Amino acid sequence: LAAQYAVSAERIRQLEKNAMQKIRTAMADE
């Protein structure tokens, strides 16, 4: 269970990172 939670937490962190990059790219394009 702990290992599974760590994996999902890492996945969420990566998704957030991707979202932030997309937002930054969109802002830079404007």
Distance CA 16, CA 5 (A): 16
Q: Quick one: pLDDT band at residue 28, thresholds 50, 70, 90?
A: very high
What confidence tens digit (pLDDT) does each residue in 2-24 have? 788 888 999 999 999 999 999 99
**Maximal CA-CA distance, the chain:** 44
Listed by start position, the domains of the chain span 1-30
Distance CA 14, CA 10 (A): 6
Distance CA 12, CA 4 (A): 12
Residue 10: what pLDDT?
Answer: 93
Asked if the model's pLDDT at residue 1 lies above 80, the reply is no
Residue 27: what pLDDT?
Answer: 93
Asked if the model's pLDDT at residue 25 lies above 80, the reply is yes
The pTM score is 0.60
